[in-house]
Structure 1
């Protein structure tokens, strides 16, 4: 997000330099005034961009019920295993960054219950730096429709508000024998969302041809791909919050933590 805004500022600076050269031929004093004004303007812009980024300090964990969000939350925040249970309210905690970037990010685990999840999403979405959409890789085939519909709704909401959100599709429970790979999950989600966006657009259209506020995801002239969602970035990763059948099994969350570190 900051890089994109930085490019816009660079473009402005190029135009300003051309103006400066032209003014230099006319009135050197006027050049000094323009330089001072532009320096102040750029300083304000960069300050506001930095503050906007710093205000968004949360990583939201979302997904349908029993995807493993709460265990993932416990591993990230408390570094411990807990028995799975269905959340009826959000869980909030602090994640300690390591490595090149230091400091903390807030991690918020949102309930996956169908009747509650959009209420919690609306409550926390404006503070999100990143979104981890947790998928049960072992039950994915049976849950494909529900997972795709929920993901579609979230991505469409972000697209409608022009949110430049970083999204990680965390393909959880890779320790289970029947777990689908991240590649298969991505392919099936793209195919399902390709169908969903057509049916959603048709249902939103009215008799006078107007369409609702829900954004059309991706390119209208091509089959849906997650790569079409720029400026949002969507990545896939395989992980296991549980790690195995034993409670003391080692979780496999390296790629998730690396992703969190990258968006901090």
Structure 2
């Protein structure tokens, strides 16, 4: 048996309204319709751009190499870019170059070597910190025990920076110069730094606001009421052993496979 008009209405109750809407559209001036569509498109695009800019989202594509003077940052910078050995000297300005990660995505980051001198590091960090996707903090494993306080103070400055804490770039602590017999292991360096950072936090806590845990652009390190551990930080942290020099001779290949694998995950 054939369907009646009442049956069709029951099956699709919106049919009359859709038909009326179609008729109205057909009766409208095509130029007017195009104008309406364009206006709607402009509104949508404007909303998208406003959302993008108002949320302050930026593309962070820099990998910063930081650390104390003579930690091996510049040689590590050269090794990552070219694989070659080159004699270096203390940097007084930044150096940058594109670095292609060893992954299937073909990711390319801007590798930036920042000066390690205590009179320069703050101003260069201020210049580049907002663009940091990752920070490679280079430690001289061979003389770490002598420099542990200085290393911890520099790291404390980094980790309590409000911009770095908010953006949470990956932190790769590169325990360099593992080719030297007296070099400390990555595990020991991590443990010693956690103790030293915990002490620094206690001695500097008086400068922090009691209300929100921040003052002067700084944030509280770790979790209140607990001894500091790197696992408490908002960013991914890895301690890696490496050797930019690589071996006994200058022609030896660098031992930086672990660092390169971590950079490939960014």
* TM-score with structure 2 setting the length: 0.75
Query: Is 1:124 matched up with 2:128?
Result: yes
Match of 2:247 among 232, 244, 254: 244
1:103 to 1:165, Cα distance in 2 relative to 1, 3 A: closer
Match of 1:78 in 2: 82
Verify the 8 A CA contact 2:140 2:176 in the aligned structure 1.
yes
- Alignment match of 2:160 (pick from 156, 160, 179): 156
Q: Does 1:254 align with 2:257?
A: yes
Q: Structure 1 225/137 Cα, relative in aligned 2: closer, same or farther at 3 Å?
A: same
**1:200 aligns to what SS in structure 2?**
helix
Number of the residue aligned with 1:92: 96
TM-superposed CA distance for 1:67, in Å, is: 0.5
Per the alignment, residue 63 of structure 1 pairs with 67
Rounded Cα–Cα distance in structure 2 between residues aligned with 1:225 and 1:78: 35
State the distance in 2 between where 1:191 and 1:222 align: 12
**1:244 Cα offset (Å):** 1.4
Shift of 1:227: 0.3
Match of 1:224 among 214, 224, 228: 228
Give ranges in structure 1 of 5+ residues lacking alignment.
1-39
For 1:168, the equivalent position in structure 2 comes to: 172
- Alignment partner of 1:233 out of 231, 236, 243: 236
CA distance in 1, matches of 2:262, 2:141: 19
* TM-aligned CA deviation for residue 52 of structure 1: 7.8
Match runs of 1:138-153 below 5 Å: 138-153=142-157
Question: Aligned partners of 1:176, 1:158: CA distance in 2, in Å?
Answer: 36
- 2: CA distance between counterparts of 1:106 and 1:66? 22
1:96 to partner: Cα distance: 1.5
State the partner residue of 1:193.
197
- In the TM superposition, residue 97 of structure 1 has moved relative to its aligned partner by 2.3
Q: 1:251 to 1:52 in 2, by over 3 A?
A: farther
For structure 1, which segment, 173-182 or 161-170, has the greater mean C-alpha deviation from structure 2 after superposition? 161-170
Q: Aligned equivalents of 1:160 and 1:108: distance in 2?
A: 16
User: Aligned residue pairs: how many?
Assistant: 219
User: Does the C-alpha gap of structure 1 residues 221 and 204 become closer, same or farther in structure 2, counting only changes over 3 Å?
Assistant: closer
Q: 1:48 Cα shift?
A: 4.5
5+ residue gaps, structure 2:
1-43
Structure 1 residues 108, 52: CA separation in 2 closer, same or farther (over 3 Å shift)?
A: farther
1:155–1:161 CA distance, 2 compared to 1 (3 A): closer
Is 1:160–1:215's contact at 8 Å kept on the other side of the alignment?
no
Q: Cα distance 1:180–1:77, how it changes in 2: closer, same or farther (>3 A)?
A: same
Which residue of structure 1 lines up, in the alignment, with residue 7 of structure 2?
none
Q: 1:243 to 1:213 in 2, by over 3 A?
A: same
Cα deviation digits, residues 3-37 of structure 1 (max 9, x gap): xxxxxxxxxxxxxxxxxxxxxxxxxxxxxxxxxxx
